[in-house]
Amino acid sequence: MDLKPAVETALREKYTDFSGRAMRSEFWWFVLFVFIVSAILSLIDTMLFSGVLEDIGPLNAIFSLIMLIPSIAVTARRLHDIGKSGWWQLLFLIPIIGFLIIIWWAATKGDDGPNEYGPDPLAGEPAAV
């Protein structure tokens, strides 16, 4: 899965879908998209609002709020792919350690074949070399 299909899946098809599984590529392309757009909006906020608003730029804040639900949903689906409940995202509340654990799990290969959260999302795609 490339950038465009990953973002379209997360934002159009599965905006609030917390069920099923997400491939590593879907998750990581979506994270890259959010990171790049957030960085661009931070630069625009700095150019437009420097000196007016010191702590937070309004464009980046609005974008972050819009991306909150799809980010939680795609992370839950990614955790489902490795056989874990989406509730494990609560580890983000533990500074540093929780973040590192979630990143490790997000980078882990998903379960082969179906698991309790649904069919293997890679079942119809050729294996990456």
Question: What pLDDT shows up at residue 129?
Answer: 43
Asked if the structure places residue 60 within a domain, the reply is: yes
Question: What pLDDT shows up at residue 95?
Answer: 93
What is the rounded average pLDDT for all residues in the chain? Answer: 90
Q: Which of 66, 71, 1 is nearest to 29 (CA)?
A: 1
Q: Is 18 exposed, middle or buried (0-12, 13-18, 19+ CB in 10 A)?
A: middle
Residue 97 per-residue DSSP state:
H
Q: What is the tens place of the pLDDT at every residue in 27-64?
A: 999 999 999 999 999 999 888 887 666 677 899 999 99
pTM, two decimals, is 0.87
Residue 123 per-residue DSSP state:
T
Asked if the structure places residue 123 within a domain, the reply is: no
Total number of domains constituting the chain: 1
Asked if the structure places residue 11 within a domain, the reply is: yes
List Cβ neighbours of 122 (8 Å cut-off, separation of 6 or more): 23, 110
Asked if the structure places residue 54 within a domain, the reply is: yes
Question: What pLDDT shows up at residue 85?
Answer: 95
Q: Residue 91 belongs to what domain range?
A: 3-107
Asked if the structure places residue 72 within a domain, the reply is: yes
Share of the chain above pLDDT 90, in %: 68
In the numeric block, which tokens belong to residue 114? 């179906």
Quick check: 120 and 111 in contact, CB under 8 A? yes
**Beta strand extents in the chain (DSSP E only):** none
Across-strand partners of 18? none
Asked if the structure places residue 121 within a domain, the reply is: no
Is 13's pLDDT higher than 70?
Answer: yes
Question: What pLDDT shows up at residue 28?
Answer: 95
Is 18's pLDDT higher than 70?
Answer: yes
Quick check: 45 and 60 in contact, CB under 8 A? yes
Asked if the structure places residue 120 within a domain, the reply is: no
Asked if the structure places residue 114 within a domain, the reply is: no
Mean pLDDT computed over 3-13:
90
